[in-house]
């Protein structure tokens, strides 16, 4: 009996993993986002069940995010009830894959169109331009055109396929460039960047 009580007491005294707090007081379990530019946004999305970590204590904010992962974040972030739509599948999207309902649902709603060969490339990294365009489509901001385009960024012109999305991003205050005046549209987006974009869109719409 004494041995059992001693064991229980020892167990109770073992420190458990403590929660982390952002400067604003948001509680999260991730030890690898302290001081990161996206810490508050990641915490906000985590608290709302939009994002998860790669492990119990790690979020990996600087890891590239895939097209399927970002699509899921965008849909969950805006509260869509997602379901599979078999007729809306792509050539590289098969039933049983975790992203099947998200991708087919999004295609049935016209949020994504994929590539000319009928594929979606779910596991490919998503670029900053692709992420912005996808997020805007999922958010339902579709009534925009490029008129008198004046680029705030040195590497975005009115001829770019993503020019209209960039204009919307600027108008709604959901994107920022880099210190050198560029947007770097073709750079792959990270999990941290995806979180910032998603959090800003949620706050803009709600």
Contact 49, 64 (CB under 8 A): no
Contacts of 138 (CB under 8 A, 6+ apart): 71, 74, 75, 78, 80, 106, 111
Contact 134, 201 (CB under 8 A): no
Contacts of 45 (CB under 8 A, 6+ apart): 51, 73, 77, 195, 198, 199
162 backbone dihedrals φ, ψ, rounded to 5°: -100, 10
Cα gap 70→135, rounded to integer Å: 9
Task: Give Cα 109 to chain centroid, integer Å.
Answer: 19
What pLDDT shows up at residue 204?
87
190 backbone dihedrals φ, ψ, rounded to 5°: -100, 170
> Residue 177 CB: number of other CB atoms within 10 A?
16
What pLDDT shows up at residue 148?
65
What pLDDT shows up at residue 145?
66
Successive 10-residue mean pLDDT values, the chain, 206 residues = 39 52 91 96 96 95 98 97 96 97 97 95 98 95 68 90 91 90 97 97 88
What pLDDT shows up at residue 150?
74
- Among 197, 203, 191, residue whose Cα is nearest residue 133: 197
* pTM for the full predicted model: 0.88
């Amino acid at each position: 009996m004494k041995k059992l009580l001693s064991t229980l007491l020892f167990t109770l005294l073992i420190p458990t993993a403590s929660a982390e707090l952002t400067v604003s007081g948001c509680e999260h379990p991730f030890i690898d986002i302290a001081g990161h530019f996206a810490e508050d946004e990641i915490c906000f999305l985590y608290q709302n069940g939009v994002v998860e970590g790669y492990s119990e204590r790690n979020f990996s904010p600087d890891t590239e995010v895939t097209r399927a992962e970002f699509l899921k974040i965008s849909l969950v972030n805006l509260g869509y009830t997602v379901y599979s739509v078999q007729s809306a599948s792509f050539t590289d999207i098969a039933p049983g894959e975790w992203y099947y309902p998200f991708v087919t649902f999004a295609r049935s709603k016209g949020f994504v169109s994929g590539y000319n060969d009928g594929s979606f490339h779910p596991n490919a990294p998503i670029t900053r331009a692709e992420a912005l365009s996808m997020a805007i489509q999922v958010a339902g901001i579709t009534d925009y055109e490029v008129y008198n385009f004046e680029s705030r960024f040195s590497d975005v012109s009115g001829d770019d396929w993503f020019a209209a999305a960039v204009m919307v991003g600027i108008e709604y205050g959901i994107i920022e460039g880099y210190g050198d005046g560029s947007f770097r549209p073709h750079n792959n987006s990270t999990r941290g960047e995806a979180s910032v974009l998603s959090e800003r869109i949620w706050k803009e719409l709600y």
